[in-house]
């Protein structure tokens, strides 16, 4: 149904190759996940498959065969693209701000069936309500409904788990598993990858982000990670053994050559011995040439993806009995409307507390309120990571400028830290709006590290981070000696880092661990 052959994509401005010679074929039942570090070109690959003519910032070589194949595409930034449109316009038009064509209304015959499939209650559908007024989970469900109304042959999903509560993530898992048509998707949710993917497309960059390697294997996520690790370890072991054996041979060769060369210098008065030694020298040079040819056939020592390097200062700490947050039967209002009530929460010292809850219940609003409260406590240095990255990263400033202006460190030190997060020299000068979501997330985390807070308030910190970066982020936060209060639905993240879990409901906070 979809065939990609020898696909190479380069960024035009930098002449940097994002992916190289990628080939794969998708048929019924295939659920392929695209993985790779932040900013490596995963979304660009999906966009190229959707419509490569729209990509003006890259050069594309190779072939994408999709003749007579209708593609359904769920972009990463659905809310931003369609925020001013009504749900009816969203469901029935191809692009924002376009008119609904008369023939498009025929799709509404499928609407009830489609909404049942995506578990969106028909009675909650308001066709005149704007997209921006829906929760993240509702938007993803309606986005899938929009694709289903078009009856596509293949689905492309770009980070569909962003902004989803656990209930909607489980719905999405079930949708991917039950759908028989091919699905090509990007996700940073390791549990989703493990439960759904039966093929992996891995985009990597080595040699300081100058060499692109693109890999496709028909394995599930865990099998692929284990197979890749074993393969790289085996290749490295053989490659290093080849080099060690070669060095021993060359050491013996040098010793023999020097001895023969010395004897030849001493044999000036013995022509017969001199001729024999000259033949020996010629034979040794042939041996040296043979050793050199063997060296040219050595396996390369595999260069692995460079793991990001980011940790908080180990001197950050909070006493165990330090009162960080105390709420007793509190009520949260927006204007005159009660948003949340019966909020009871007691956080002390270096506790790590995860907050979950259904989309739209008010988790982000609650976290912002806690942030404003903690700012009033002089004994607390609070660091805040919003879901809306633009709140913290001005869109038209370079990330280097943002970090340099907010830190006492010199520019060369900031560059070194960004390099440890796998930013190229060119990317450091990109305006914030031109960075990927994962790159922005890493920049905000670095900004927090530079601020050295002793309390962290984090709103979905892992939502745009590659699963290949998550082990480092999890370790960084696990080792952090301050307090963490974090909104998240990342199952592996919760299990790895947090001491307690609370669910936010309209009736209050419920401790569930």
pLDDT tens digit sequence for 133-151: 888 788 888 999 999 999 9
Asked if residue 454 lies in contact with residue 318, where contact means CB atoms within 8 angstroms, the answer is yes
Q: What is the pLDDT of residue 148?
A: 94
CA distance readout (Å), 1 to 8, 165, 183: 20, 33, 11
Mean pLDDT of 270-297: 83
For residue 453, the Cα-to-chain-centroid distance in whole angstroms is 25
382 phi and psi, to 5 degrees? Answer: -100, 135
Helix (H, G, I), strand (E, B) or coil at 143: helix
Beta strand segments in 45-187, E? 58-65, 71-74, 154-158, 183-186
- What integer pLDDT is reported at residue 343 of this predicted model? 87
**Residue 403 phi, psi (nearest 5):** -75, -35
User: Is 488 in contact with 385 (CB distance < 8 Å)?
Assistant: no
154 pLDDT above the threshold of 70: yes
Mean pLDDT value of segment 264-276: 75
- Cα–Cα nearest to 494, from 327, 369, 352, 340: 352
With a cut of 90, say whether residue 262 has pLDDT above it: no
Segment 419-453, tens digit of pLDDT: 888 888 888 999 998 898 889 999 999 999 999 99
Question: Comparing 41 with 263, which gets the higher pLDDT?
Answer: 41
Instruction: Give pLDDT tens digits for 379-401.
Output: 899 999 998 888 889 889 999 99
- Residue 112 class from Cβ within 10 Å (0-12 exposed, 13-18 middle, 19+ buried)? exposed
Question: Rounded mean pLDDT of the chain?
Answer: 88
Cα–Cα nearest to 227, from 215, 238, 210: 215
C-alpha distances (whole Å) from 267 to each of 257, 274, 275, 282 are 15, 5, 9, 16
pLDDT at site 307: 64
Q: How far is CA 164 from CA 82, 246, 357, 368, in A?
A: 18, 55, 10, 19
Q: What is the pLDDT of residue 349?
A: 92
pLDDT at residue 180 above 90? yes
Q: Taking a C-beta distance cutoff of 8 angstroms, is the pair 80, 16 a contact?
A: no
Instruction: Residues 323-511: name the CATH superfamily.
Output: P-loop containing nucleotide triphosphate hydrolases (3.40.50.300)
Query: Is the predicted pLDDT of residue 26 greater than 90, yes or no?
Result: yes
354, 500 in Cβ contact below 8 A?
yes
Residues sharing a CB contact under 8 Å with residue 453, sequence separation 6 or more, in sequence order: 316, 381, 382, 383, 482
User: Mean pLDDT over residues 289-293, rounded?
Assistant: 88
Distance in Å from the first CA to the final CA of the chain: 46
216 or 57, greater pLDDT:
216
* Model pLDDT, residue 195: 94
C-alpha dist (Å) from residue 433 to 56, 93, 365, 414, 442:
17, 27, 24, 19, 14
- Please state the rounded mean pLDDT for residues 299-321: 79
Tell me the whole-structure pTM to 2 decimals. 0.78
Tell me how far apart the alpha carbons of residues 181 and 155 are, in angstroms, rounded to a whole number.
7
Asked if 2-229 and 323-511 have one fold, the answer is: yes
C-alpha distances (whole Å) from 310 to each of 344, 447, 474, 477, 479 are 34, 11, 11, 10, 11
Average pLDDT over residues 96-119: 90
**Residue 102, pLDDT above cutoff 70:** yes
Percent of the chain with pLDDT over 90: 43
Torsion sign, CA atoms 229, 233, 239, 240: positive
Task: Indicate the pLDDT class of residue 303, thresholds 50, 70 and 90.
Answer: low
Highest mean pLDDT among 16-30, 281-295, 301-315: 16-30
pLDDT of residue 207: 67
**How is the chain split into domains, by residue range?**
2-229, 230-296, 323-511
Bridge partner list, 392: none
Asked whether residue 209 carries a pLDDT value surpassing 70, the answer given is no
Percentages of the chain per state (helix, strand, coil), in multiples of 5? 45, 25, 35
Place of tokens 């938007």: 139
DSSP class per residue in 198-247: SEEEEEEEETTTTEEEEEEESS-HHHHHHHHHHHHHHHHHHHHHHHHHHH
pLDDT at res. 402: 92
CATH topology of domain 2-229: Rossmann fold (3.40.50)
CB 8 within 8 A of CB 20: yes
Q: How far out from the chain centre does Cα 506 lie?
A: 32
Confidence of residue 234 (pLDDT cuts 50, 70, 90): confident
Question: DSSP class of residue 118?
Answer: T
Nearest alpha carbon to residue 487 among 389, 374, 386, 354: 354
Q: Is 374 exposed, middle or buried (0-12, 13-18, 19+ CB in 10 A)?
A: buried
Parallel/antiparallel/unpaired status of strands 2-11 and 154-158: unpaired
- The confidence score (pLDDT) of residue 362 equals 85
b/e map 263-274, b = 16+ CB within 10 Å: ebeebeeeeeeb
* Residue 442, token pair as written in the block: 């890493």
41-50, 189-198, 269-278, 342-351: least confident range? 269-278
H/E/C letters for each residue in 414-475? Answer: HHHHHHHCCCCCCHHHCEHHHCCHHHHHHHHHHHHHHHCCCEEEEECCCCCCCCCCHHHHHH
- State residue 179's pLDDT score: 94
**Cβ contact 480:313 at 8 Å:** no
């Amino acid at each position: 149904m979809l065939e990609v052959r020898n696909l190479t994509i380069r960024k035009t401005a930098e002449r940097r190759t994002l992916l190289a010679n990628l080939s794969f074929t998708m048929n019924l039942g295939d659920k392929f996940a695209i993985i790779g570090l932040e900013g490596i070109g995963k979304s660009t690959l999906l966009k190229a498959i959707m419509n490569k003519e729209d990509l003006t910032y890259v050069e594309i070589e190779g072939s994408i065969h999709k003749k007579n194949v209708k593609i359904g595409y769920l972009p990463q930034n659905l809310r931003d693209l369609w925020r001013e449109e009504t749900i009816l316009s969203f469901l029935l038009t191809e692009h924002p701000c376009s008119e609904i064509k008369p023939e498009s209304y025929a799709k509404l015959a499928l609407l009830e069936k489609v909404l049942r499939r995506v578990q969106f209650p028909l009675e909650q559908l308001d066709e005149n309500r704007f997209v921006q007024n829906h929760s993240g989970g509702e938007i993803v469900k309606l986005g899938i409904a929009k694709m289903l109304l078009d009856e596509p042959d293949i689905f492309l999903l770009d980070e569909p788990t962003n902004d989803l509560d656990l209930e909607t993530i489980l719905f999405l898992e079930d949708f991917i598993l039950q759908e028989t048509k091919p699905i090509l998707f990007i996700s940073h949710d390791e549990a989703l990858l493990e439960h759904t993917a039966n093929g992996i497309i891995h985009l990597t960059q080595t040699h300081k982000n100058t060499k692109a390697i693109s890999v496709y294997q028909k394995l599930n996520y865990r099998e692929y990670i284990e197979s890749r690790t074993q393969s790289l370890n085996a290749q490295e072991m053989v490659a290093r053994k080849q080099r060690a054996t070669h060095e021993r041979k060359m050491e013996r060769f040098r010793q023999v050559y020097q001895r023969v060369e010395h004897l030849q210098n001493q044999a000036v008065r013995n022509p017969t011995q001199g001729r024999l030694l000259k033949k020996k020298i010629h034979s040794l040079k042939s041996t040296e040439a043979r050793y050199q040819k063997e060296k040219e056939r050595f396996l390369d020592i595999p260069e692995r993806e460079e793991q990001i390097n980011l940790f908080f200062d180990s001197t950050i700490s909070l006493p165990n009995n330090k009162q960080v947050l105390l709420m007793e039967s509190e009520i949260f209002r927006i204007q005159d409307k009660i948003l949340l009530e019966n909020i009871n929460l007691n956080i002390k010292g270096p506790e790590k507390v995860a907050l979950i809850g259904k989309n739209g219940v008010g988790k982000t609003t609650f976290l912002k309120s806690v942030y404003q409260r903690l700012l009033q406590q002089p004994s607390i240095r609070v660091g805040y990571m919003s879901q809306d990255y633009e709140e913290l990263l001005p869109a038209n400033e370079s990330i280097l400028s943002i970090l340099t202006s907010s830190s006492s460190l010199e520019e060369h030190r900031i560059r070194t830290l960004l390099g440890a997060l796998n930013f190229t020299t060119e990317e450091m000068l990109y305006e914030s709006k031109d960075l990927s979501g994962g790159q922005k997330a890493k920049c905000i985390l670095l900004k927090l590290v530079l601020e050295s807070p002793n309390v962290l308030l984090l709103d979905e910190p892992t939502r745009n981070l590659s699963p290949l970066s998550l082990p480092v982020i999890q370790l960084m936060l696990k080792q952090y000696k301050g307090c963490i209060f974090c909104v998240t639905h990342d199952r592996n993240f919760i299990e790895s880092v947090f001491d307690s879990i609370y669910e936010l409901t309209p009736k209050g906070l419920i401790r569930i661990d």
